[in-house]
């Protein structure tokens, strides 16, 4: 009889877990809300009321400590440190958004309550203090408007773009594609960096001095005619050019060299490679840089005051006469109201309405730039 040995196999061990314990996704938000509530309670107990800076600081500290303690006890120290870093970055982002949101809210709430069709279609021609006094007394509607300032802002900004965008883009193309870090390229880069830090009032004084000198040479004693919309556009272009150059230069350097080399290998000239390959590939980034430059100058007040002055009437001619813009209109309305005293509220409301329109213009320009960039961007192949 053959004895058969039965081999008893040991039960297979469970596979080791490759993932560590993790807190639910909602835990950081629950902790954050609880931290804010605790901070508000402490603010009422210690300071007798709701104090926004105190609540923000206490909530941040409590949230960081609570997140670290909960995560360290459940997930381990390494994951807890990671969550602390994430919490700090997120909190910093939220704090950075607070001034922006509060500014937008203040502009929309005050400007939206004052804005009307009359403000958008009328100028300040013929405005008298008695009209503002009647408005404050509730006997009339808000008179006057800033249609002339809207037109001036658009015309001067467009003129500045026509001057600065071609110069800035072509300068960036030279620095990236042709200079090869030669002496001229280094000198241009240095001057662009210097121009980036020029105060806006200096740009305005430069443009006014330039055109005053030209006017005196052509017609002695006529320096006063140098205050025009075109002079203001030149001043703004001085501020725009370095921004356009730096942004365009950085975007062009991101275009892969393989694209250029493939084009050169097919016998395509360098200028055509730049026009057909490099610029279409980077058009989205270039337009973003241009939008940043426009947003930088469209709200400038000091150079416009020096170069274009203040106007109460509509002026379509960039080369003759004073021209008002939304920033100078806001400044003038707050500094020199049509009617002082209690009736100055009317000028303040016109200023807030103009500020809302200015913010809306910047947002529309940003939206247009994104649409154009999407249309002109190269189509991705399969």
Q: In 3D, which of 176, 148, 322, 146 has the Cα closest to residue 253?
A: 176
Alpha-helical segments (H) within the chain? 27-47, 52-74, 77-114, 117-121, 129-136, 147-173, 183-196, 200-218, 229-253, 257-265, 270-273, 279-297, 302-307, 326-335, 344-376
Is the whole-model pTM more than 0.85? Answer: no
Q: Determine the Cα–Cα distance for residues 110 and 133; give it in Å rounded to an integer.
A: 20
Q: Is 340 exposed, middle or buried (0-12, 13-18, 19+ CB in 10 A)?
A: exposed
φ, ψ dihedrals at 336, nearest 5°? -130, 75
Q: Are 319 and 294 in contact (CB under 8 A)?
A: no
- Within 8 A by CB and 6+ apart from 83, the residues are 28, 67, 68, 71, 75
Q: Are 285 and 169 in contact (CB under 8 A)?
A: no
- DSSP single-letter state for residue 225: G
Q: In 3D, which of 50, 30, 28 has the Cα closest to residue 40?
A: 50
- For residue 158, the model assigns a pLDDT of 93
Kindly give the confidence (pLDDT) of every residue in the chain, 382 residues in length, as a single tens digit, with 9 standing for 90 and above: 444 444 445 455 554 444 567 777 788 888 888 888 888 888 888 777 777 777 878 888 888 888 888 888 887 888 888 888 888 888 788 878 878 888 888 888 888 888 888 888 888 887 887 887 888 888 778 888 888 999 999 999 999 999 999 999 999 999 998 988 888 988 998 999 888 888 889 999 998 888 888 877 776 665 567 788 899 999 999 999 999 999 999 999 988 888 888 988 888 898 899 988 888 888 888 888 888 888 888 888 889 988 888 888 888 988 888 898 999 999 988 888 888 877 788 888 888 999 999 998 888 888 887 787 777 766 654 4
| pLDDT tens per residue, range 122-161 | 888 878 878 878 888 887 788 888 889 999 999 999 999 9
- For residue 1, the model assigns a pLDDT of 43
Q: Determine the Cα–Cα distance for residues 285 and 145; give it in Å rounded to an integer.
A: 37
- Within 8 A by CB and 6+ apart from 230, the residues are 159, 318, 319
| pLDDT tens per residue, range 240-250 | 999 999 999 99
φ, ψ dihedrals at 172, nearest 5°? -65, -40
């Amino acid at each position: 009889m053959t004895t058969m040995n039965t081999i008893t196999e040991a039960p297979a061990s469970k596979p080791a877990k490759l993932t560590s314990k993790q807190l639910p996704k909602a835990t950081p938000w629950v902790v954050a809300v609880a931290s804010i509530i605790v901070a508000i309670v402490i603010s009422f107990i210690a300071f007798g009321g709701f104090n926004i800076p105190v609540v923000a600081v206490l909530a941040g500290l409590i949230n960081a400590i609570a997140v670290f303690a909960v995560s360290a006890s459940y997930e381990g120290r390494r994951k807890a440190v990671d969550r602390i870093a994430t919490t700090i970055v997120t909190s910093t982002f939220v704090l950075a958004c607070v001034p922006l949101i509060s500014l937008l809210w203040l502009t929309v709430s005050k400007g939206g309550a004052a804005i009307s069709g009359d403000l958008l279609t009328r100028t300040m021609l013929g405005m008298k203090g008695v009209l503002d006094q009647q408005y404050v007394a509730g006997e009339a509607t808000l008179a006057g408007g800033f249609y002339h300032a809207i037109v001036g802002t658009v015309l001067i900004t467009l003129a500045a773009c026509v001057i600065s965008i071609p110069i800035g883009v072509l300068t960036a193309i030279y620095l990236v594609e042709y200079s090869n870090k030669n002496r001229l390229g280094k000198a241009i880069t240095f001057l662009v960096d210097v121009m980036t830090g020029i105060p806006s009032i200096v740009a305005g004084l430069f443009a006014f001095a330039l055109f005053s000198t030209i006017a005196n040479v052509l017609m002695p004693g006529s320096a006063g005619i140098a205050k025009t919309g075109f002079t203001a556009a030149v001043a703004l272009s001085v501020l725009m050019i370095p921004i356009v150059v730096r942004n365009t230069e950085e975007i062009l350097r991101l275009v892969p060299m393989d694209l250029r080399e493939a084009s050169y290998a097919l016998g395509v000239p360098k200028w055509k490679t730049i026009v057909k390959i490099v610029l279409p590939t980077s058009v989205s980034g270039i337009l973003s840089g241009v939008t940043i430059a426009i947003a930088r100058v469209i709200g400038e007040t000091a150079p416009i005051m020096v170069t274009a002055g203040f106007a109460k009437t509509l002026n379509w001619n960039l080369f003759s006469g004073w021209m008002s813009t939304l920033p100078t209109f806001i400044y003038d309305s707050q500094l020199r109201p049509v009617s002082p005293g209690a009736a100055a509220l009317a000028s303040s409301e016109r200023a807030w309405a103009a500020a809302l329109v200015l913010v809306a213009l910047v947002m529309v320009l940003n939206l247009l730039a994104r649409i154009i960039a999407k249309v002109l961007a190269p189509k991705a192949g399969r």
